[in-house]
Amino acid sequence: MVRGLLNKLVSRSLSVAGKWQHHQLRRLNIHEYQGAELMGKHGVNVPRGVAVSSVEEVRKAIKEFFPNEKELVVKSQILAGGRGLGTFKSGLQGGVHIVKTEQVEDLAGKMLGQILVTKQTGPQGKIVSKVYLCEKLSLVNEMYFAITLDRTTAGPIIIACSKGGTSIEDLAEKFPDMIIKVPVDVFEGITDEDAAKVVDGLAPKGADRNKSIEQVKNLYKLFIDCDCTLLEINPIAETADNQLVAADAKLNFDDNAAYRQKEIFALRDTTQEDPREVTAAKADLNYIGLDGEIGCMVNGAGLAMATMDIIKLHGGTPANFLDVGGNASEGQVIEAFKILTADDKVKAILVNIFGGIMKCDVIASGIVNAAKEVALKVPVIVRLEGTNVDQGKRILKESGMALITAEDLDDAAQKAVKAAYK
């Protein structure tokens, strides 16, 4: 029973480092080649590689960086996992290949500019604008390593497993006893003892123990110095010459640190992101696109989650998470409506505002002005409560708009579902 509970706790804490990571709200994600360059600057062993964006650059890179290599690793660069098992819409199987050097140019040409679909991209896939050419290393042992933030210990936690090269969810299921977790005191920093525990968890077969400890400490320093929310290396591997190498890596960074990590945030590739989320971020709105039919505009993350839940309770499906915050301007409300109405799947919009800091009359004015700028073709259900609620309701009533008003959240959700699926 205790062991079963431990397994559940392990799986829960690992979820941040696994498949749920891409659902985090507005966390900078960078490409593999960018992460490798960053790690190299921080003293972490990485394979020699170069990113290219055209066939001409491929030819030049091979001649300049890999003149004597017989084989190279060709990796498509998209901001999603599962590339190796992905499929291009052109029919090419796999986004990562090891090929003879003379085949690299042809393969890269088939990847560049094409759409790669993986388990994490959704059916729409993502376009490959760059491929990463790497030296082929002789890997004799593959392990798993990650650093993320742990709510329980209120600080960084290092996760290590002596098995690697596959998803952490699979590892947690198949080898729960092999996974170790080492919390680090954020004020004291990583100690030699902490790093040694991690190396023991990795259980390298031939790599020098002291050098491995230094690599772990370098990775932790990178995590802290660069304000990471996730640093995942899968696999971290041993080479035939007993070096510990970060063979593949995923790094995410805290958006709150953008002001002091300008070089890192300049690496952001908005072409890989949902354009609605990019637009929302520019307007300082918290938005995540989903797959439903009922658009939501709410103030406050907690209320937004509750709104989504009650829509589901009444048989509907939310089209998005959209939090306008507690101090949104009329202009932000207008932008929010533009984003919602740009989604062809949206069949109804539910506006749910509880005015504390946010004033109901501001929201109401924003709705009215948005209607003037955007041709509203779907029903709009509005529930207002709180500060200046009477003024807000009066503005809506005098606007002459065909709005559906609701007295409480339950009533609003029912009306939204009915309007969307009538």
Kindly indicate the confidence band of residue 190, based on its pLDDT and cuts at 50, 70 and 90.
very high
**Stated pTM of the model:** 0.73
pLDDT at 228 over 50: yes
pLDDT digits (tens, 9 = 90+) for 119-165: 888 888 999 999 999 999 989 999 999 999 999 999 999 999 998 87
Burial class of residue 147 in the structure, from the number of CB atoms within 10 Å of its CB (0-12 exposed, 13-18 middle, 19+ buried):
buried
pLDDT digits (tens, 9 = 90+) for 345-385: 999 999 998 877 778 888 888 888 887 888 778 899 999 88
Average pLDDT score, the chain: 87
Helix (H) or strand (E) holding 115: strand 115-117
pLDDT digits (tens, 9 = 90+) for 19-31: 333 333 457 889 9
Which pLDDT belongs to residue 330?
A: 77
Catalytic residue among 32, 220, 232, 277: 232
The answer to whether 234 is annotated as binding is yes
Distance of CA 352 to the CA centre of its chain: 27
The answer to whether 45 is annotated as binding is no
DSSP state of 320: E
Which pLDDT belongs to residue 113?
A: 95
The answer to whether 208 is annotated as binding is no
Q: Is 232 part of the annotated catalytic residue set?
A: yes
Backbone angles phi, psi at 92, to 5 degrees: -65, 130
The answer to whether 369 is annotated as binding is no
Q: Which fold has domain 48-135?
A: Dna Ligase; domain 1 (3.30.1490)
Q: Max alpha carbon distance in the chain (Å)?
A: 77
More confident: 41 or 401: 41
Which pLDDT belongs to residue 17?
A: 37
Pick from 51-60, 110-119, 299-308: least confident: 299-308
Which pLDDT belongs to residue 12?
A: 41
The answer to whether 299 is annotated as binding is yes
Structure-token pair, residue 415: 């009306």
pLDDT digits (tens, 9 = 90+) for 260-318: 999 999 998 888 887 888 888 888 888 888 889 999 999 888 889 999 999 999 999 99
Q: Which fold has domain 274-421?
A: Rossmann fold (3.40.50)
Kindly indicate the confidence band of residue 114, based on its pLDDT and cuts at 50, 70 and 90.
very high
Catalytic residue among 132, 144, 220, 287: 144
The answer to whether 170 is annotated as binding is no
Cβ neighbors of 276 (< 8 A, separation 6 or more) are: 287, 289, 320, 339, 342, 343
Span 139-266 CATH architecture:
2-Layer Sandwich (3.30)
Cβ neighbors of 373 (< 8 A, separation 6 or more) are: 334, 337, 338
pLDDT cut 90: percent of the chain above it: 57
pLDDT at 200 over 60: yes
Which pLDDT belongs to residue 13?
A: 40
Q: Where are the domains of the chain?
A: 48-135, 139-266, 274-421
